[in-house]
Amino acid sequence: MDRFGPEHLNGIYKDIANDLGVEMALLIFNHYRGLQITFLTRLLCTEYVRKQVSIEYNGSNIKELSLKYSYSERWIRKMITQKLNK
């Protein structure tokens, strides 16, 4: 393929090339082309977050933990309560 830039790519491939480079866009295209991909809204797995919340909870930082890990205060409180009841 002749040398080309991000401006020569379609849709999401153009965005990827602008953010990560043309080589990465080509790698993603070659690996995932034709597939429909949904990116989860949370990067970290639930088990990791549960463990970290139990480590980092200091008795008054539910709001900070909820913001840090992108979970609701209610979910954080529930995880802490479950941990304390075990």
Indicate the helix (H) or strand (E) that contains 84: helix 73-84
Cβ atoms within 10 Å of 16's Cβ, excluding its own: 19
pLDDT at 2: 62
Q: Which amino acid is at 37?
A: I
- Rg of the Cα atoms in the chain: 20
- What are the two backbone dihedrals, phi and then psi, of residue 64, each rounded to the nearest 5 degrees? -65, -40
Burial label for 14, CB within 10 Å (0-12, 13-18, 19+), is middle
Whole-number Å distance between alpha carbons of 36 and 13: 14
Chunked in runs of 10, what are the mean pLDDT values of the chain (86 residues)? 86 96 96 94 93 94 96 94 79
What are the extents of the domains in the chain? 1-39, 46-84
pTM, two decimal places: 0.69
Q: Which fold has domain 46-84?
A: Arc Repressor Mutant, subunit A (1.10.10)
* Rounded Cα distance, 48 and 50, in Å: 5
